[in-house]
């Protein structure tokens, strides 16, 4: 699977309170959550981002709480991929459980906001302006989660296969 989109950059230590502030956690509506995504650091982000755009971040993206609302808010905006130098472990797993792929790559210092990147999820190769960067490839099982739309979709497929 290859994804291509315009870059939105966010720095190091973007925690789940930045991705979706706690005051909005009473909602389970993905569109409502998305409308507040990155509000503390980029209030207009939900209005400016377009479906298919990609977040590129620094280190420790998604640190903080274990809330699943964070990857839901990102995906609700139509963002199909986040590329960061590193991810908080619980955010990493929650994102894949919700069907949002993540790539670990040192892309932050290479791209500018507005650049277009292309990422091959199966090989981990990210291309921007003719430059290729090797990301940590997504394990095959995690790709299956993405293909199924997340953990619930994956489990449904498994159960259907047993019938």
CATH number of the domain at 12, please.
3.20.19.10
Give the pLDDT of residue 142. Answer: 92
Buried b (16+ CB within 10 A) or exposed e, 116-144: ebebbbeebbbebeeeebebebbeeebbe
pTM value > 0.85? yes
Residues 104-121, mean pLDDT to the nearest whole number: 95
CB atoms within 10 A of CB 39: 18
Give the model's pLDDT for residue 13. 97
Backbone angles phi, psi at 44, to 5 degrees: -90, 0
Domain count along the chain: 1
pLDDT, the chain, mean? 95
How confident is the model at residue 1, as a pLDDT?
A: 87
Burial of residue 31 (number of CB atoms within 10 Å: 0-12, 13-18, 19+)? exposed
H-helix segments, 40-131: 45-48, 69-76, 89-97
Q: Is residue 130's pLDDT more than 90?
A: no
Residue 67 has a pLDDT of: 86
Q: How does pLDDT run across 3-40, given as a tens digit for each residue?
A: 999 999 999 999 999 999 999 999 999 999 999 999 99
Rounded CA-CA distance 162/142 in Å is 21
Residue range 32-85, pLDDT digits in tens: 999 999 999 999 999 999 999 999 999 999 999 888 999 999 999 999 999 999
Domain of 119 in residue numbering reads as 2-162
Give the number of C-alpha atoms closer than 13 A to the C-alpha of residue 46, restricted to the C-beta side.
20
Place 162 in a pLDDT band, splitting at 50, 70 and 90: confident
The pLDDT of residue 96: 96
């Amino acid at each position: 699977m290859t994804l291509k989109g315009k870059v939105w950059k966010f720095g190091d230590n973007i925690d789940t309170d930045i991705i979706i502030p706690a005051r909005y956690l009473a909602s389970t509506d993905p569109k409502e959550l998305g409308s507040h995504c990155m509000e503390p650091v980029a209030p207009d982000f939900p209005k400016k981002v377009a479906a298919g755009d990609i977040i590129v971040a620094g280190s420790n993206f998604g640190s903080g709480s274990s809330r699943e609302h964070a990857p839901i808010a990102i995906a609700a905006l139509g963002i199909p991929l986040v590329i960061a130098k590193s991810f908080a472990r619980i955010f990493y797993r929650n994102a894949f459980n919700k069907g949002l792929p993540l790539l670990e790559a040192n892309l932050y210092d290479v791209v500018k906001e507005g650049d277009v990147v292309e990422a091959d999820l199966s090989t981990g190769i990210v291309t921007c302006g003719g430059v290729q960067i090797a990301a940590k490839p997504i394990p095959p099982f995690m790709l299956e989660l993405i293909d199924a739309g997340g953990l619930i979709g994956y489990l449904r497929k498994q159960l259907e296969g047993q019938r």
